[in-house]
Amino acid sequence: MPPRYAYWTIIAGGLPTAFRAAVREELLPTFQRIKEKHPDAQMKYFARGKLWESPEAARSPEKRMGTRSRDWRPGGNHRDPRQKFVDAKKERNAAMRKERWERKQTPRGERKPWMRGQGTDEPAQPPRPRGPNREPKPSEDPEPTPPPGKEQPPTPSPAKPPERGSRRRGLQPQRRFSKGPRR
């Protein structure tokens, strides 16, 4: 039996047959008999998952790649859709590194104090008011009072026997254990 990855085979009616051989001459008598019944029968060389006209065609590099260049990809243009975000991030990081380097190179007395949003289009936040005229924090708001009306004491419910499993234990004082000597 020839190796499974490269052999001669007979194609009849567009489908491969079970006839295989390592050498073409071994299949010629069988091929002639099949050709009598199927005039469209062909003998092809199978290698690397494809059918070839000959072993030389399977070995030649231009046949392997076809007429396409190395840049060709099936399905059209293969660009990463996130590449624009990657490029923007690289540009932003480069600008920050340049700004940091320039800041380090200027003498201490000439440096501007660093502020949030410095060098960006973000507007500076106005200072917050201090003192008694400021707005109260949410935690400082007074507790809401109930609406005015007639207050009624809660009515006790009629005494029913407790349901099974609903017993509650009364609160018991927690026991304190004295520490003994370590073992």
Count the neighbouring beta carbons within 10 Å of the beta carbon of residue 113. 5
In a domain, 45, yes or no: yes
Q: How far apart are CA 176 and CA 183, in angstroms?
A: 20
Q: What is the mean pLDDT of residues 80-107?
A: 91
Whose CA is closest to 15, among 64, 54, 51? 51
Is the residue at 175 inside a domain? no
* Category of 31 on φ-ψ map: left (φ > 0), alpha (ψ -120 to 50) or beta: alpha
Name the residue range of residue 52's domain: 6-65
Most confident of 41-45, 81-85, 164-168: 41-45
Judge contact between 52 and 58, C-beta under 8 A: yes
Residue 153 lies in a domain: no
- CA 175, CA 14: separation in Å to the nearest integer? 90
Q: Is residue 10 one of the residues assigned to a domain? A: yes
Quick one: 8 exposed, middle or buried, by C-beta within 10 A (0-12, 13-18, 19+)?
buried
In a domain, 24, yes or no: yes
Q: The pTM is what?
A: 0.35
> Residue 70 falls within a domain, yes or no?
no
- Domain contains 43: yes
Q: Would you state the pLDDT for residue 147?
A: 73
**How many separate domains does the chain show?**
1
Task: Assess if residue 47 is contained within a domain.
Answer: yes
Q: How confident is the model over 96-143, as pLDDT tens digits? A: 999 999 888 888 777 666 666 555 666 667 777 777 777 766 666 667
